[in-house]
Structure 1
Amino acid sequence: MLHANDIAAIVLSLQLATISTVILLIIGTPMAWWLAHSRSRCKPIFEALVALPLVLPPTVLGFYLLLAFAPNSPFGQLWLSATGQSLAFSFSALVIGSVLYSLPFVVQPLQASFEQLPKNLLEAASTLGADFKDRFFSIVLPLSRRSFITAASLGFAHTVGEFGIVLMIGGNIPGKTQVLSIALFDRVESLQFQQAHILAAGLVVFSLLLLSLVYRMNKPSSLSVVRPQ
Structure 2
Amino acid sequence: MLNEYDLAALLVTIKLASITTVILILVGTPIAWWLSQTRFKFKAVIEAIIALPLILPPTVLGFYLLMTLGTNGPIGNFLESLGGSSIAFTFTGLVVGSVIYSLPFVVQPLQNSFGSIGKQPMEVAATLGASKLDRFFTVAVPLARSGFITASVLGFAHTVGEFGVVLMIGGNIPGETGVLSIAIYDHVEAMEYGQAHILAGGLLVLSFVMLLVVYIFNRRFSIMRSD
* TM-score of the pair, normalised by structure 2: 0.94
Q: Distance in 2 between matches of 1:203 and 1:223?
A: 30
Confirm or deny: 8 A CA contact 1:36 1:111 kept in the other structure: yes
Is 1:24 aligned with 2:24? yes
Letter in 2 for 1:80: E
SS at match of 2:178: coil
The answer for the alignment partner of 2:154 in structure 1 is 154
Q: CA, structure 1 residues 214+223, in 2 after alignment: closer, same or farther (shift >3 Å)?
A: closer
Q: How far did residue 83 of structure 1 move?
A: 6.5
- 1:66-120: CA deviations, max 9, x gaps? 0001112220022234573321111011100000010110000010111111311
Confirm or deny: 8 A CA contact 1:80 1:87 kept in the other structure: no
Q: CA, structure 1 residues 66+137, in 2 after alignment: closer, same or farther (shift >3 Å)?
A: same
- 1:108-136: CA deviations, max 9, x gaps? 00101111113112112112221122111
SS at match of 1:85: coil
Instruction: Say which is worse superposed, 140-149 or 129-138, in terms of deviation.
Output: 129-138
- Of structures 1 and 2, the larger Rg is shown by 1
Number of residue equivalences = 224
The answer for the alignment partner of 2:84 in structure 1 is 84
Q: How far did residue 156 of structure 1 move?
A: 0.2
The answer for the alignment partner of 2:40 in structure 1 is 40
Is 1:94 aligned with 2:71? no
Q: How far did residue 204 of structure 1 move?
A: 0.3
Q: CA, structure 1 residues 43+3, in 2 after alignment: closer, same or farther (shift >3 Å)?
A: same
Confirm or deny: 8 A CA contact 2:76 2:85 kept in the other structure: no
Is 1:164 aligned with 2:159? no
Q: Which runs of 5+ in 1 are unaligned?
A: 225-229
The answer for the alignment partner of 1:8 in structure 2 is 8
Q: CA, structure 1 residues 156+138, in 2 after alignment: closer, same or farther (shift >3 Å)?
A: same
Instruction: Say which is worse superposed, 74-83 or 211-220, in terms of deviation.
Output: 74-83
Letter in 1 for 2:13: S
Confirm or deny: 8 A CA contact 2:146 2:221 kept in the other structure: no
CA RMSD of aligned residues (A): 1.5
- 1:126-158: CA deviations, max 9, x gaps? 122211221112111111111100000000000
The answer for the alignment partner of 2:111 in structure 1 is 111
The answer for the alignment partner of 2:220 in structure 1 is 220
The answer for the alignment partner of 2:187 in structure 1 is 187
The answer for the alignment partner of 1:227 in structure 2 is none
Q: Distance in 1 between matches of 2:39 and 2:60?
A: 31
Confirm or deny: 8 A CA contact 2:29 2:110 kept in the other structure: yes
Q: Which runs of 5+ in 2 are unaligned?
A: none
